[in-house]
Structure 1
Amino acid sequence: MQEFNQEFDHKMKKTLEVVAGDFASVRAGRANAAVLDKIAVDYYGTPTPINQVASISSPDPRSLMIQPWDASLLKAIEKAIQTSELGINPQNDGKVIRLLFPQLTEERRKELTKQVKKYAEGGKVAVRNIRRDAMEKLKAAEKKGDMTEDDRKDCEKELQDMTDKYCKELDEMSAKKEKELMAV
């Protein structure tokens, strides 16, 4: 019973980590290397994350500097950033690529807030799906005779508590990110 709940607790924690990564990729008006995490560059025929082919630094709060380890990748990195949903035009000076993050407009802040809510809701759906799968396994175990009805009900209560805890945590993460986005 205990290892059963640990398995699903682990799955719910992984979901939380994925959503946290999604939140980090939403730019909040200041430079953050995490916005580049989902952008892959064509590196000798293999899609590779930018942070694996270049060093990324933030010389000031509103800009990122990308310095590829292989100078021939400059054009490919520039193209990958332009075709991404980042919405920033890279500046290539032949040695490094600079990304200048403009101040967010009120309209863009609201769009990003909606995106954050969508990520949080997706995380909650994933947590609930994990709970549903766990409930099905519990019922199957009871039918097989591996567990009593009382044990199943205890496990279901623990699962529901876990689900509530992770959904609340997702709400808190979402509220924090929204507050960060709406701060001028």
Structure 2
Amino acid sequence: MNMQEIIEIKKLEMSNVIELFEDHITKFRTGRASAIILNSVVVDYYGTPTPIKHLASIVSPESHQLVVTPYDRSLVALAAAAISKSNLGVTVSNEGTLIRIKIPALTTETRQQIVKELKKDTENYRVKIRNLRRDANTEIKAEKQNEDWERDGMEIIDKITKEFIELLDKTSTEKETEILTI
């Protein structure tokens, strides 16, 4: 494999880590109602685990409330149970044809705890990116080219790693600001 292929593969893998991080941080509550918090909720739909967003419309009529209206009315009880079991810290009420979800306001302590968890997770994703850098450097060394070739490849990988870590930090900082905004 040549250096360009190694670099392109690692860029793609680092980009995937960023996408995973962006998906992961959507699960952090911000104190405002957002349909995104239900992304992890799965309903057993005729024996098939199906994301709730595929089975219902989700709207936010108020800043602290979501309304979930399943397309199939027979799913209301199943969807309400799945939301309750998901440990989102919300109040779920089944109203027959729809489900109301009340999202409690976050206390300052809760916000700080969420930010602390966000920072811990951000560091874990930084480590994933650094591990990809290490793997790329190992692959470059394994090619057994001359020292200049190896040094150039490692410098390029370091530069790319730095860019992806900065993007990760920027995304984390934006989410932290969103969490701390009352």
TM-based fold match above 0.5: yes
| CA distance in 2 between partners of 1:118 and 1:77 (Å) | 31
What does residue range 104-119 of structure 1 map to in structure 2 within 5 Å?
Answer: 104-119=106-121
- Correspondence for 1:174 among 168, 172, 175: 172
TM-score, length of structure 1 as denominator length = 0.92
Contact preservation (8 Å) 1:109, 1:181: yes
Q: Percent identity?
A: 38
What is the CA deviation profile of residues 123-182 of structure 1, one whole-angstrom value per residue up to 9, with x for unaligned ones? Answer: 11111111122122112222xxxx333222111111111111111221222122112211
1:29 correspondence with 2:31: yes
- Correspondence for 2:133 among 112, 115, 131: 131
What does residue range 2-17 of structure 1 map to in structure 2 within 5 Å?
Answer: 2-17=4-19
Paired residues, what number?
A: 180
- Correspondence for 1:80 among 79, 82, 93: 82
* Runs of 4+ that moved beyond 3 A: none
- Correspondence for 2:161 among 156, 160, 163: 163
Quote the RMSD (CA, aligned, Å): 1.3
Q: Which runs of 5+ in 1 are unaligned?
A: none
- Correspondence for 1:47 among 42, 46, 49: 49
Contact preservation (8 Å) 1:81, 1:89: no
What is the CA deviation profile of residues 24-74 of structure 1, one whole-angstrom value per residue up to 9, with x for unaligned ones? Answer: 221211111111111111111221111111111111222111111111211
| CA distance in 2 between partners of 1:138 and 1:92 (Å) | 58
- 2:22 aligns with 20
Contact preservation (8 Å) 2:91, 2:103: no
Q: Which runs of 5+ in 2 are unaligned?
A: none
TM-score, length of structure 2 as denominator length = 0.93
- 1:122 aligns with 124
